[in-house]
Amino acid sequence: MDHQIKLEDVGHYFDTPHGRISLFDTLSLTFSGGSTHAIVGPSGVGKSSLLSLAAGLELPRLGEITFTCDGQQMSPVKLRQRSGFVFQQFHLMQELDALGNIALPLRLNGNKQAYDIARKWLKKINLEDRANHKPTQLSGGEQQRVAIARAFVSSPAFIFADEPTGNLDEATSSNVTDLMFEFAKDTGSALIIVTHSSALAERADNIFALSEAHLEKIK
C-alpha cells in the first residue's frame, strides 16, 4: 500500500490578543501507510496541532505537507475521504444508538448494507447485545469501542487518534488499545496516535517524541 503523509520543515504558531504562541518550527517527519505511529510529549507542546496538520485539518504556517494515497498525491480534502478519527471525548452522536453510530459513515457514503456491516463490527467489539443502547447508556470504555469501530468501519487509509485512552482507566485503556491495533492490522490502515500513555505508545511501530525544543524519533 503506497500511502504516506510527509511533513517537511513544518512550523506552526497561534496569534492571540495577548501575543503569539509558537508551537514548533522546521519539523520534518513521514507517516507511512500500513504502519502504526505514536506521538508523545508533555502537554502544551502541540501534539494535537501536529495531528491536525498531519490530518490536513489545518494548513501549516511554515513548511509543506504532502499527502499520498495509492501512489498519488492528493489534497487534504481528498485525504479526509480516506481517513478516520478517534477522539478523546468519543464524540458519538447522542441521538443514535451504538449500531446507528457505527453505520453512520457508511450511510453517508450511500452504502445500502450499512447496518449489516455495522452489526459485524459491533460483534467485533463485543457489544452485539448493546446495539440499541444510546451513548448515555454506555460506559466510557464502551463508547470508545463504538467510536473505534465507527472510525474503522469504512477501512480508511489513515486513522488519526487524539488521546484515545485519555478518559479511560488502565484496564479499559488496554482493551481499547488492543482493539485499535488489531483493527489497524486487519484493515491495513495506518494509525497515528497522540498519547500520554507510554503503554499505548510502546505498541506502535514508530514513536515520535515532541518537546519544546524539537521532535525526536525514539523508536
Partner 1 sequence: MSWITLAFDNFLNDSKSSDGRLVLLTQITLILFLATLSLTSASVQQYLDDNLNNMLGADISVSGPRPLSSRDENLLSDKAADFAKIQLTPLAISLRGETIPVQLKIADDNYPLQGSLKIGMAQDQTIQKTIGHGPPPGEIWLGPRASSKIDANIGDRIAIGEETFRFGAIIYHEPDRLMEGHSVSMRALMNSKSLSIDDVKSSKTLYRYLLTATSEQQESIERWASEKLSDFTLLTKASGSHPLALFWQRTENFLGLASVILFFLAAIAIDMANRRYLERQKQRLAVYLSFGQTLAACLRLSLLQWLSGFLLSFMIAIGLAYVAQYFLIGQLADQFPGITSGWHPATIAKTTGLIFLLLLAFQIPMLWQLSRTSLVSLIRAVEYPSAQLLRLFWGFASISLLAAYYSDNFLLTGLTLGALGAALLLMAILSWIILTAGEFWGRRYPGLLSFNFFIMKQRLLSKSSQILGLGLCSLLLLFTLMLMKDIGATMEGYTRANNGNLMVAELQAQDKPALENWAQENESEIRQLRPYAAAKLSEINGLPIDEAISTPSETLATVKNSIRLHWSNTIPSNNQLVGGKWWSEKESNWNQISAEDEVMTDLGLNYGDQLTFMIDGKATQFKLVASHAFKPGGGSVTFWFQIPERAIEAIKPDVFYMGSIELPDAAWNELGSLWQKHPSLSLVPLKELTQRFDDTLAMVTKLVVGYATMVLIMTALVIAASMKGFEAEDRQKNGLLMSMGVTKKSCVKLALYDWLTVSLIAGIGAISGTWLAGLLIYQSQFSMIYEPDPIWLVSTMLAIGVTVCGIGVIYSRKSLSTSIKDLLSE
Cell 494509525: give the residue. 191
Q: Which of 20, 43, 75, 77 binds partner 1 (CB under 8 A)?
A: 77
Q: Work out whether 15 is an interface residue with partner 1 (CB under 8 A).
A: no
Q: Work out whether 155 is an interface residue with partner 1 (CB under 8 A).
A: no
Q: Work out whether 85 is an interface residue with partner 1 (CB under 8 A).
A: yes
Q: Work out whether 148 is an interface residue with partner 1 (CB under 8 A).
A: no
Q: Work out whether 95 is an interface residue with partner 1 (CB under 8 A).
A: yes
- Residues 6+ away with beta carbon under 8 Å from 31: 4, 5, 6, 37, 54, 158, 190, 192
Which of these segments, 23-31, 107-115, 181-189, 197-205, binds partner 1 (CB under 8 A)? 107-115
Q: Work out whether 87 is an interface residue with partner 1 (CB under 8 A).
A: yes
Closest C-alpha to 184, from 38, 77, 66, 69: 38
Residue 14 CA neighbour count, 13 Å, CB half: 11
CB atoms within 10 A of CB 44: 10
CA quadruple 29, 33, 34, 40: dihedral sign: positive
Cβ proximity to partner 1: between 108 and 218 the closer is 108
Q: Which of 1, 74, 96, 131 binds partner 1 (CB under 8 A)?
A: 96
Q: Work out whether 21 is an interface residue with partner 1 (CB under 8 A).
A: no
Binding string, residues 57-76; x marks residues near partner 1 by CB under 8 A: xx------------------
Cβ proximity to partner 1: between 109 and 126 the closer is 109
Tell me how far apart the alpha carbons of residues 191 and 156 are, in angstroms, rounded to a whole number: 10
